[in-house]
Amino acid sequence: AQTVTQSQPEMSVQEAETVTLSCTYDTSENNYYLFWYKQPPSRQMILVIRQEAYKQQNATENRFSVNFQKAAKSFSLKISDSQLGDTAMYFCAFTTNRGSQGNLIFGKGTKLSVKP
């Protein structure tokens, strides 16, 4: 069975500092996709970053970057220069592209609070 584990239920960071959210996953597949989603309080879930497993280069989107370690099945999210608007639930997610296994599998989320 494929699983996604986020071991940090809650984290906090000071504004302008850097924070790293952890995510590990388990799969026997070789081709798959990894995502980080952000859900601000009472707002829509939005995509933060996407990584394709066959690409060795870590994905980056402005202040958000990932550390993808395929052998260790680890996919952490680094947020640089944290802003108050980064306060949200962050979900790590995984999918293959094979039939119903192509549905996203989510971790339980990490609640991030950015403090002024």
Partner 1 sequence: EADIYQTPRYLVIGTGKKITLECSQTMGHDKMYWYQQDPGMELHLIHYSYGVNSTEKGDLSSESTVSRIRTEHFPLTLESARPSHTSQYLCASSENLGSSYTFGSGTRLTVV
Q: In the set 46, 54, 60, 83, which binds partner 1 (CB under 8 A)? A: 46
Instruction: For the beta carbon of residue 86, count every other beta carbon within 10 angstroms.
Output: 20
Residues 50-89: x where in contact with partner 1 by CB under 8 A, - otherwise, as a string: x--------------------------------------x
106 touching partner 1, by CB under 8 A: yes
Which phi and psi (to 5°) does residue 102 adopt?
-80, -5
Q: Where along the sequence are the contacts to partner 1 (CB under 8 A)?
A: 32-33, 35, 37, 39, 43-47, 50, 89, 91, 95-100, 102-104, 106, 108-109, 111
